[in-house]
Structure 1
Amino acid sequence: MSRLGNIGARLYRGEIGYDFIAHRKLWYSISILITITAFVGLVVRGLNMGIEFEGGAVFTTPKTTSSVEQTTESAEKVSGHTAIVQELGDGGMRVQVAGVDTKTSDKVKDALADELHVDTEKIDAQLVGPSWGEQIANKAWQGLGIFMVLVVIYLAIAFEWRMAVSAFVALFHDITITVGVYSLVGFEVTPGTVIGLLTILGYSLYDTVVVFDGLREQSKGVTKQTKFTYSEIANRSINGTLVRSINTTVVALLPVAGLLFIGGGMLGGGMLNDIALSLFVGLAAGAYSSIFIATPLVADLKEREPQMKALAKRVRAKRLKAEERESHEQAGNAEGADDAAGSEDDGPRDDPEAGGRQPAATGAPGQRRQPSSRNRGKGRSSGGRKR
């Protein structure tokens, strides 16, 4: 068995572990700080919505020698709107201009043809109306809301309402962080971003449900024992699935990182960046929330129940008695050790008046003493009594 597998087995058996529940206030504080930062980014910078949501035009050009800066300047000068230009892997350009109509689109197309020195007919132009983009945005929010409601209902039926509430908070936490990163980084929000968001919610729920399932199995009949509190059982569940969560998250992040850094950075990006960034941030946030947010929150909600409060009191009382018993045993062992040491000190001692080491009074090796009865006839004849 590998070293990591050995650690996972020891975590599962409860031989080692980290007390996640005891430090839950620290994790809550970190999550609140990250969430506030994400909200500030949304308010200050907002989201860079793609033309699929705002409407506009997308121009795809053939291979050209013009730079991205020159193409951007030319498109913005003609359209009067901000243009986003990306260099494609084949040497062409992808130009996005939001808020333009058909007439403005034709002018931008002609200007790009002159700037890039290509035929106008070789430039592919796609128009997206603002009403269509608004419908896409509304359907995306509706799909997200329906997904969240179904998740809460399923978890409430399969587990309990406290776990459903905790999972909902964890999902909201993951979405907020991912959207906040999009706002701070300035990536464009496209339908690919929505697909990535819905995908990461599934990954986040996977880790959360794995931990919840272990917690449900270990907490059966929890009130009938006095060895562990509910929070301690929840902590054992987290440690038991910790290595599994880390392994699945790392394995899922590796190909996503390839899409984001290799596919997006070297091959020109496009929709690869939109999907990969949301997946990368969401997967990491989902693994974090399932361990540091969802399960500690379940423990907090459960510990408020009267039965769990009574269980915690019984566990503390039992442990206090065990500590007192152990302290008494240690004190008794200490007294026995002192008595044994004292009996050893009853041996021969040095007598300064006798000029040397003398035997002990009783039971010690040394000169043998005769009883007084044996000395009664000493100095008398053996033939008869002295008259």
Structure 2
Amino acid sequence: MRYNFKFDIVRHRRKFFAVSIAITLIGIVMLAIFNLNYGVDFRAGTNFDITVGQATDQAKAADIFKNAGYDPSTLTVGGTNNDRVTARFDKVLGQADETKVQAAFKAVYGDKVSMEVNTVDTEIARDLAVKAIYAVLASTIGIVIYVSIRFEWRFAIAAIISLLHDAFIVVSLFSIFRLEVDLPFIAAILTIIGYSINDTIVIFDRVRENLRFAKLKTFDDLAELVNRSIWQTMTRSINTVITVLIAALCLFIFGSPAIRLFSLAMIFGLVSGTYSSVFIASPIWLLLKNRTLGSKAAKPAVEK
């Protein structure tokens, strides 16, 4: 008996591949031309996080820095009562500069002013960037080994392509919109990889279960099995992504400026992860598995 899925995902796989390839190519071009917009974590500079004890605004904070003789590269005002000023400089400032900035704010807001300063020199920035790459590679290799042991190498290849797809989609979007990349961004990438592989494995587990009772002779039989497996887990996938997406949106809207880009990266990654698990990973496994059928009775389904 054929499974009556609402939408034939396999038949339209080329459209989904085209969307992912288009975003990836745009991202590659943007990376080649503009690179990423690295934050202070990955480039030398100094970050001031100043709590002034009362409501303020960006224009007033900018005037204080200007009167003290400083021009921060980025300046934001946040906190529960708009009482926190965050300023970032592309150069490393010394102790004398820190004292001068703190004195300038105390002259306006009084002794309630408190300040936290984070400075990253060139060597530390380079070391952080290298370790971030190692962290992503290590997690990816671990996932490949796990999927290969639990399932088979075809599932592992499909899973790793899906994971790389998710990570690069988020990187591409940050490059296209010139969003800042810092250590929380790397944490978001690692979280996205974990979420995406979990979603992918749920679908792959259903595929494996359905394989036990399937009699596959043609590509159409295999395509039906994949479509059935995806739709059997679709409700779970939608419910999961909506639940996590609501949390990420709340962090983005109501959270502090320090975690806003982290939340945005999570939003991009959650959407991309669900998309790749359903529309990328499973069709790739299908194409790989089709080579083992040894039947030419039917040709692969194509879009109409």
> Shorter chain as normaliser: what TM range?
0.7 to 0.9
Partner of 1:60: 49
Mapped to 1, the partners of 2:60 and 2:120 lie a distance apart of: 24
Deviations 1:320-355 (A, max 9, x none): xxxxxxxxxxxxxxxxxxxxxxxxxxxxxxxxxxxx
The corresponding residue for 1:150 is 142
Q: Counterparts of 1:286 and 1:173 in 2: how far apart (Å)?
A: 8
AA at the equivalent of 1:295 = S
Q: Does 1:203 align with 2:191?
A: no
For residues 265-318 of structure 1, give each alpha carbon's deviation from its aligned partner in whole angstroms, at most 9, with x where no partner exists.
xxx421x2132111111011000001110000111111122xx142x62x79xx
**Residue 206 of structure 1: CA displacement?**
1.0
Question: Which has more radius of gyration?
Answer: 1
Going from structure 1 to structure 2, the CA distance change for 1:124 and 1:184 (only over 3 Å counts) comes to: same
TM-superposed deviation, 1:125: 2.8
* Aligned counterpart for 1:24 among listed residues 13, 32, 40: 13
Determine the structure 2 residue equivalent to 1:344.
none
From 270, 274, 278, give the equivalent of 1:291.
Answer: 278
Q: Residue 248 of structure 2 corresponds to which residue in structure 1?
A: 256
AA aligned to 1:117 is V
Structure 2-normalised TM-score? 0.85
State the TM-score, normalized to the length of structure 1: 0.68
**Shift in CA distance, 69/211, structure 1 to aligned 2, threshold 3 Å:** same
Say if 2:92 and 2:120, in contact at 8 Å, map to a contact too. Answer: no
Q: Give deviations 1:337-384, integer Å, cap 9, x for gaps.
A: xxxxxxxxxxxxxxxxxxxxxxxxxxxxxxxxxxxxxxxxxxxxxxxx
Alpha carbons of 1:156 and 1:147: their partners in 2 closer, same or farther (altered >3 Å)? same
Instruction: State the distance in 1 between where 2:202 and 2:114 align.
Output: 53
User: How far does the alpha carbon of each residue in 1:14-41 deviate from its partner, in whole angstroms, 9 at most, with x for none?
Assistant: 3443211111111111110111122223
When the two chains are superposed, the root-mean-square deviation of aligned CA atoms in Å is 2.7
Distance 1:224 1:20 in 2: 19
Q: Any conservation in 2 of the 1:56–1:128 contact (CA below 8 Å)?
A: yes
Matched, 1:84 2:74: yes
SS of alignment partner, residue 117 of structure 1: helix
Q: Which runs of 5+ in 1 are unaligned?
A: 1-12, 317-387
Is the Cα–Cα contact under 8 Å of residues 40 and 46 in structure 2 kept in the other structure?
A: yes
Task: Please state how far the C-alpha of 1:207 moved relative to its aligned partner.
Answer: 1.1
Distance in 2, matches of 1:37 and 1:117, equals: 47
- How do residues 30-179 of structure 1 correspond to structure 2 at under 5 angstroms? 30-63=19-52, 67-69=57-59, 71-72=61-62, 75=65, 78-79=69-70, 83-89=73-79, 90=81, 91-102=83-94, 106-107=96-97, 109-111=99-101, 113-114=103-104, 117-118=108-109, 122-179=114-171
Count of residue pairs the alignment pairs up: 292
Contact 1:48 1:186 in 2 (8 A): yes
Quickly say closer, same or farther: Cα 1:38–1:302, change in 2 above 3 A. Answer: same
Structural mapping, 1:317-332, within 5 Å: none
Output the amino acid matched with 1:280.
Answer: I
Q: 201, 204, 216: which is aligned to 1:212?
A: 204
Deviations 1:62-102 (A, max 9, x none): 3267642454476479457x521111214231111122242
Structure 2 gap ranges (5+): 300-304
